[in-house]
Structure 1
Amino acid sequence: MNKNNTILIVEDEMIIAANISLQLTHLGYEVTGIIPRAEDVLTHICQHVPDIILMDINLKGDLDGIELVHLIQKEYKIPIIYLTANSDEANFNRAKATNPYAFVSKPFKKLDLQRAIELTLVRIQEEQNSEKTLDITSEEPFILSDCIFIRSHDKMVKVCINNILYIEAERNYCKIHCKDKEHLLVMTLKDIEEKLTSNTLLRIHRSFIVNLSHIDEIATSHVVIAKKAIPLSAELKKKLLQHIQKV
């Protein structure tokens, strides 16, 4: 696997951060930056989007690492590896809701960090390979009240609304995440939203439409569906709560 992958270190203990950076450089990775303050992270990412973020959970300041990840995930899909010296159950559950790729407990050995990164890169590659095998169609689907008919090769495949977990915008495509399969459509999320007549599918973020019947948790800035933390726009949260009461 190509090791010319970029990694951002978010760590407020500079001795630890410098040591991590040195280790990563020796392993052949490129460190895009070492940032101790949560407030500076989004600005950095805007200029240099890394392949992986090493995120200290216990950042000093107004935001801890988990809260910062929620903000990052509103704009970017970057794999997160948490660094933590505090492994209590409450923090673990908060962090788990952001769907991280790994946890590394401090103090850690060089091998622990190396393996966490390598496993994350393997998972990234598997996800990219999986996307290549998804059903892709350039023909507009038939969107009905209880199902969506999607062109797959020489036939139309029925996707029941009840089986849809959420729909995610992917650049010029939309990915429909179902319980047992995924479908990739050459269609914008806005176009899908305009054609939907189902009361159970609702847009809660510029990049996500969710199935209200599959929501497991509603937090301040995200919802959880099938262990996936999905960002929730502040302006759409009231609309979500109103629809939940009707479903």
Structure 2
Amino acid sequence: MNKKTRILIVEDDMIIAANISLQLTKAGYEVTGIESRGEEAVIHSRLNPPDIILMDINLKGRLNGIESVKRIQEVIDIPVIYITANNDEATFEEAKHTHPFAFIAKPITMSNVLRSLALAEEQFKTREESVPVEENYIALLNDRIFIRHHGQMVKLLLQDILYIEADRNYCHVMTSKKEYVLTTTLKEMQNKLPEEIFVRVHRSFLVNISKLDVVAEAHVEINRKAIPLSKSNREGLLKHLQTI
């Protein structure tokens, strides 16, 4: 079964937002939520990152849509599709700096929304495929693992790993300088790596606790990346931190 693409809708007209949500759900998408203010969209994106954001540019409140996207992009890169009633050149030029995947003009038609999402998914898929996927990795050896990279086995020191994120049957191993994609599950990675260093904080994330910058109620941060912290994993994380 294919994983559903997860969409966050940011729109201050709740009738429009509810209709988009209903139609996207019928079309097979998963809607992570509806937010009406930019500040709330920033928090949502950091704690429960969607695959794509549908963002109205003309939001009420302190942050408009473009400013909200800039805040989101400070810590996490999520494809954005703007919804706008503004056709002026200044707005378009400002929005371009956030590298949106598409623009949808109001009044909205669902055919335009679905086409834009399909194009964004295709671009996102192409971008993901451009990251080299390593076929496998070798078992833990003291303070390092070895992974296959460009046909050679290269070492990756455990201390250089920031966190590991699950993505279907792959794992994204993140360091401060490079990303590696391995064809393995997060559970298999967790079983191989030392549990006193790498701790599960969410069904999709394993973190190097020595790299934690912030531990909040529902998320942690590493190198300005907000990572969700589930209730079921919070107690275990705190216990590990007490032993450091």
The secondary structure found in structure 2 opposite 1:142 is: coil
TM-score (norm 1): 0.65
Change (3 A) 1:132 1:65: closer
Correspondence for 1:239: 236
- The yes-or-no answer on 1:78 pairing with 2:52 is yes
Correspondence for 2:18: 35
Q: Please give the alpha-carbon distance, in whole angstroms, between the structure 2 residues aligned to 1:140 and 1:35.
A: 45
Correspondence for 2:37: 57
The secondary structure found in structure 1 opposite 2:177 is: coil
Correspondence for 2:76: 99
- The yes-or-no answer on 1:148 pairing with 2:132 is no
Q: Please give the alpha-carbon distance, in whole angstroms, between the structure 2 residues aligned to 1:126 and 1:98.
A: 21
TM-score (norm 2): 0.65
Q: Please give the alpha-carbon distance, in whole angstroms, between the structure 2 residues aligned to 1:71 and 1:48.
A: 23
Structure 2 portions without partners, runs of 5+: 1-5, 103-119
Q: Please give the alpha-carbon distance, in whole angstroms, between the structure 2 residues aligned to 1:7 and 1:116.
A: 20
Correspondence for 1:116: 95
Change (3 A) 1:102 1:193: closer
Deviations 1:67-123 (A, max 9, x none): 5445643xx4334647543327xx97xx647737599xxx98344369638822189
Q: Following TM superposition, by how much is the alpha carbon of 1:52 offset from its aligned partner in structure 2, in angstroms?
A: 11
Q: Which amino acid aligns with 2:100?
A: T
Change (3 A) 1:232 1:189: same
Q: Following TM superposition, by how much is the alpha carbon of 1:56 offset from its aligned partner in structure 2, in angstroms?
A: 2.7
Deviations 1:208-235 (A, max 9, x none): 1111122222222211122221111111
Q: Please give the alpha-carbon distance, in whole angstroms, between the structure 1 residues aligned to 2:238 and 2:154.
A: 32
Correspondence for 2:107: none
Q: Please give the alpha-carbon distance, in whole angstroms, between the structure 2 residues aligned to 1:173 and 1:66.
A: 27
Where do 1:122-137 residues align within 5 Å? 128-137=125-134
Q: Please give the alpha-carbon distance, in whole angstroms, between the structure 2 residues aligned to 1:217 and 1:42.
A: 36
Please provide the CA RMSD for this pair: 4.5
Q: Which amino acid aligns with 2:163?
A: Y
Instruction: Pick the aligned partner of 1:222 from 216, 219, 228.
Output: 219
Correspondence for 1:11: 11
Structure 1 portions without partners, runs of 5+: 1-5, 18-33
Instruction: Pick the aligned partner of 2:206 from 200, 205, 209.
Output: 209
Q: Following TM superposition, by how much is the alpha carbon of 1:171 offset from its aligned partner in structure 2, in angstroms?
A: 0.8
Q: Following TM superposition, by how much is the alpha carbon of 1:244 offset from its aligned partner in structure 2, in angstroms?
A: 1.8
Q: Please give the alpha-carbon distance, in whole angstroms, between the structure 1 residues aligned to 2:93 and 2:237.
A: 41
Correspondence for 1:24: none
Q: Which amino acid aligns with 1:148?
A: I
Name the % identity.
31
The secondary structure found in structure 1 opposite 2:100 is: helix
Q: Please give the alpha-carbon distance, in whole angstroms, between the structure 2 residues aligned to 1:78 and 1:116.
A: 16
CA contact (8 A) 2:7 2:53 kept: no
- The yes-or-no answer on 1:165 pairing with 2:162 is yes
Q: Please give the alpha-carbon distance, in whole angstroms, between the structure 2 residues aligned to 1:238 and 1:43.
A: 39
Q: Following TM superposition, by how much is the alpha carbon of 1:14 offset from its aligned partner in structure 2, in angstroms?
A: 4.9
Correspondence for 1:179: 176
CA contact (8 A) 1:146 1:198 kept: no
